Amino acid sequence: MPVLFTAGCCACKDKPQHVGQTGAQMVAIADTVPFERKPVMDFGADTVFDFGPLKEGQIEVHDFNFTNTGQSPLMIQKATGSCGCTMPDYPQEPVPPGGHGIIRVTFNSANKMGKQLKSVVIYSNARHPAVRLLIKSDIAMN
- Asked whether the predicted pLDDT for residue 9 surpasses 70, the reply is no
Question: Residue range 15-35: average pLDDT?
Answer: 56
Cα distances (Å, whole numbers) of residue 125 to 62, 97, 100: 24, 13, 16
Q: Write the pLDDT tens digit of every residue in 86-110.
A: 999 999 999 999 999 999 999 999 9
How do residues 55-75 score in pLDDT, each as one tens digit? 999 999 999 999 999 999 999
* Domain boundaries of the chain, sorted by first residue: 38-140
Residue 28 pLDDT: 54
Superfamily of chain region 38-140: Immunoglobulins (2.60.40.10)
* Mean pLDDT for the chain overall: 85
Cα–Cα separations (whole angstroms), residue 75 to 22, 41, 50, 68, 134: 12, 10, 27, 10, 21
